[in-house]
Structure formats: structure tokens, C-alpha cells
Structure 1
Amino acid sequence: MIIRPLEKRDLQYIYRQENARRVMALWFEEPYTSFDELEILYDKHVLDQSQRRFVIDIDGQFAGVVELMYIDYLHRNTEIQIIVDSKFQGQGLAQEALSKGVEYAFKVLNMHKVYLYVDVDNAAAVHIYKKLGFTEEGRLRNHFFAEGCYHDSFVMGYLIDEYTAKQKRG
């Protein structure tokens, strides 16, 4: 498995993901994007330094995306997001791809903190994030609306010092 930059040729897969209600509910977003809109957004953001989008690539197959969003070079923090395509779930890819995204944030972008939001009821994701080194920093009550109701969300963070200490431990 590798992560590589998102290319225009990958938009067909992003289109499929962004129009799947179940998938977009995990990101607390509306499942409604036209292909034309995706192309416009791609062209608009291809040179945007406040985000990085990576494809999870398994032997040339699109297996999902890892995104670093809202990259803040002053405060040196960024939000990380991940979606693994349903046919590749259950293979440990989320943890491996997320680990590579975190490594990129700390070692390439020189971030001090990587954070994420996760539905408090998504125990599998919370488990993966904690295993990687993320810590629950707080709970946002009724913060996101998805699938017809409001959801509480954990804010989880990972600091460079914690990452470095974990790397030294092996």
C-alpha cells in the first residue's frame, strides 16, 4: 500500500464516495456532489497549500483517500480525514494509511498537532485512532448533522512530541 497525491483521474472514485450517504455521514457531510463540481473543485484547489489529498493505492487500485485539511502554518496544526472504499475495509488499511498521513504532516509539513473529529458512536474508528496515538481532547455535543439527526463528536489530537516518543519506543 502506498499513498500518492490525488490526481484528476481519481475523481471518478471520489464522485462515487461523495454520493454515498453512508460514507459521507462518517464525514458529517451531505452526499451530493456533481462530477462537474468535483472537476471545478479539483482545478481550484490543486495548488492550494492549505490542504493535501492522497489516494490510498493498492497495486494501482483506488482504495480510499487520506486528507490533510485546514493546514495552518502559523499554529502548525491540521485536520486529518480518511475514507477507505468498502471493498477494501477490514484489511487494516485505515490504520496504515492514517499512519502515513500523520507521518507526512509531522515530518514533511512540520506540523505540531494533527487532529480529527469522529462520531462518538464510531467505536471502531475511535479504537484505531487511539491505537495510532490520538488522544480524546473533548466532546462536541450535537455538533454535526448527518443521516437525519445530530451527532456528538470527539475531537482527538496527536502532538509531535507524542509521535516522536512513540517512534522511539518502536
Structure 2
Amino acid sequence: MKLRALEITDLPFVHELNNEYSIMSYWFEEPYESLTELQYLFDKHLLDESERRFIVEDEDSIVGIVELVEINYIHRNCEIQIIIKPEFSSKGYAKFAFEKATSYAFDILNMHKLYLYVDTDNEKAIHIYKSQGFKIEGLLIEQFYTNGKYKDAYIMALLKSEYIL
């Protein structure tokens, strides 16, 4: 397993993930993004210092993506997001990607705090995040609209001082 920077050649994989409704509903994002739009966004954000995107690979298979977004160098915090393709779930890829991206955020970018939003019904993800040291900081009532209804979300976070190497 390894993490590497997102390349333009990875966009068809990201496009496939972004067009899977069941995946994007967990990200509280609208599905059905065109490949042309994705390529435009890739070019637009290529030199953007407020985000880092990584591909999760195992040998020659791309299994997921992990992102550090909304990177704020003044307050030294950022949001972490992850998608593991469903057929690769429960194989340790999410844990691996989280460990590597967390290490990158704290040790390379010198972030003070990582945070994320998670659907309160997504027990599997909450378990993974807690196993990585993330704590629930708050409950956001009807924060996101997905699948025809408003959903509650937890905001979870991990401070660098609580990060265990």
C-alpha cells in the first residue's frame, strides 16, 4: 500500500467515484460531475496551496482517494476527506490512508488540528475515525441535504498534541 499525489491520469478513477451516488452522499456532495468539469477543477487547483489530494494504491490498483482541503496556514488546521472504493472496504485501506494523510498534515504541513464531518448514521466511518484518535467535538443538526432529506453530522477533530505516532 502507498499514498501518492493525485495526477491528471487518475481523473477517470475520481470521475467514477464522483458519479457514484452512494459514495458521494457520505461526502455530502452532489454526484454526477462531468470528466470535463473535473479536469477543469484539477487544472484550476493545481498550484492551490489550500489543498492536497492523494491516491491510495495497492500494487497496481487504485483503491481510493484521501484529501486535505481548506488548509489554513494561519490557524494551522484543515479538513480531511477519504473515499475507499466499496469493493476495497474492510481491508485496512482507510486506516492506512488516514494514518499517512494525518502524518503528512502534522509532520509536513505543520497543522495544529485536523477535522472532518461525518454523517451520524455512518457508524463504520465513525469507528475508523475514533480509532485514529479523532474525537467528536459537536453535533451539527440538519447540516447536510442528501438523498431527499437533511442529515445530522458530527464534527470530529484531532489535535497535533493528541496525535500518536
TM-score by length of 1: 0.96
What is the aligned-residue identity percentage? 48
Structure 2 alignment gaps of length 5 or more: none
User: Once the 2 structures are TM-superposed, how far is the Cα of residue 108 of structure 1 from its aligned partner?
Assistant: 0.2
1:135-162 per-residue CA deviation (whole Å, 9 max, x = no partner) reads: 0000000000111111000000000000
Pair 1:40-2:40 in alignment: yes
More helix by share: 1
Pair 1:129-2:129 in alignment: yes
Alignment of 1:103-122 (within 5 A): 103-122=103-122
CA RMSD of aligned residues (A): 0.6
What SS is found at the alignment partner of 2:70?
A: strand
TM-score by length of 2: 0.98
User: Once the 2 structures are TM-superposed, how far is the Cα of residue 109 of structure 1 from its aligned partner?
Assistant: 0.1
Equivalents in 1 of 2:95, 2:151: separation in Å?
Answer: 24
Paired AA for residue 94 in structure 1:
A
Pair 1:101-2:108 in alignment: no
Alignment of 1:6-155 (within 5 A): 6-155=6-155
User: Once the 2 structures are TM-superposed, how far is the Cα of residue 60 of structure 1 from its aligned partner?
Assistant: 2.2
- Deviating 4+ runs (over 6 angstroms): none
1:29-62 per-residue CA deviation (whole Å, 9 max, x = no partner) reads: 1102001001111011111000000000110211
User: Once the 2 structures are TM-superposed, how far is the Cα of residue 92 of structure 1 from its aligned partner?
Assistant: 1.2
Corresponding pairs, count: 165
1:104-163 per-residue CA deviation (whole Å, 9 max, x = no partner) reads: 000000000000000000011101100110000000000001111110000000000000
